[in-house]
Amino acid sequence: MDFDKHKIDNQTDFKKVDTDLLTEKKDRLSNLSFVIDQVNAVNKNIKNTYDNANNVQDKQLTQYGSNISVINTSLTGMGTSMAMFNASLNGINTKVSSIETGFGSLLDIKSGNSNIPLSGLSGVASPNIDLIKNINVLSGMTIKDVQLTKQFKICGGVPERCVAFPDAQGNTYLTGFGANASLILDAPTEAKEDLILKKDLVLEGKVYGMINGQKVELQLTPVGTPSTTTTTPSTTTTTVPTV
């Protein structure tokens, strides 16, 4: 009886082992299949990306080839293919050099005293440069080579008036910007040459001067008041009628 029971138990165990092995086999094969599918999916994505990149590159190469063909056709039609290309390249180099010169090699300025001439920016001999909006000059400004034919003007007002350095006659012309605007000198003013007045002289207050080292004071009185002169060793006071 023990032998039969042992045999039955062994058969039961063997069946359980077979079942476990079969289950393990299925699980492992299922996991392996999943991993392989994932690897295949990644490989497929890599291949698609590579194919797309190749397609884009092929299209770009085709476009580049078309552009080069058009350029070659145009250059061949002009009969100066390489010469024209070299001329264009030289022109670009010249303009680049001009810009670098004009900006004082802006990317490699090593001196705070470097000049940056605006005339070098346009690449032409006599450029017209229009500066827009406000211009702030943080240091000195020197305007050179001003002539009758190359005036420096500051214009404004309605009607427009211009301060000219010089005007058409070579004079420095100062004026107010506007019909009734005045020219105000808000500091002691010194005239080193003759002062010519072509209009009335309107004085408010006393007039002082020096004659031969002596201080002279002119006081204005109403018309009709006799003129008197008082002289002291150091001061001369003169009263004259007003005009």
For 214, other C-beta atoms within 10 Å of its C-beta total: 13
Q: Give per-residue pLDDT as tens, 122-150.
A: 555 666 666 667 777 788 888 888 888 88
- What's the confidence (pLDDT) of residue 106? 46
How far apart are alpha carbons 153 and 161 in whole angstroms?
Answer: 10
How far apart are alpha carbons 121 and 107 in whole angstroms?
Answer: 15
Domain coordinates of the chain in residue numbers?
Answer: 2-79, 143-185, 201-243
- What's the confidence (pLDDT) of residue 193? 87
Q: Model-level pTM?
A: 0.36
- What's the confidence (pLDDT) of residue 214? 75
- What's the confidence (pLDDT) of residue 238? 47
Residues of the chain with pLDDT under 70: 1, 3, 6-7, 9-10, 75, 79-82, 84-85, 93-132, 216-243
Q: Give per-residue pLDDT as tens, 157-186.
A: 888 888 988 888 888 888 888 778 888 888
Read off the tokens for 239. 């009263």
Contact 121, 104 (CB under 8 A): no
- What's the confidence (pLDDT) of residue 104? 46
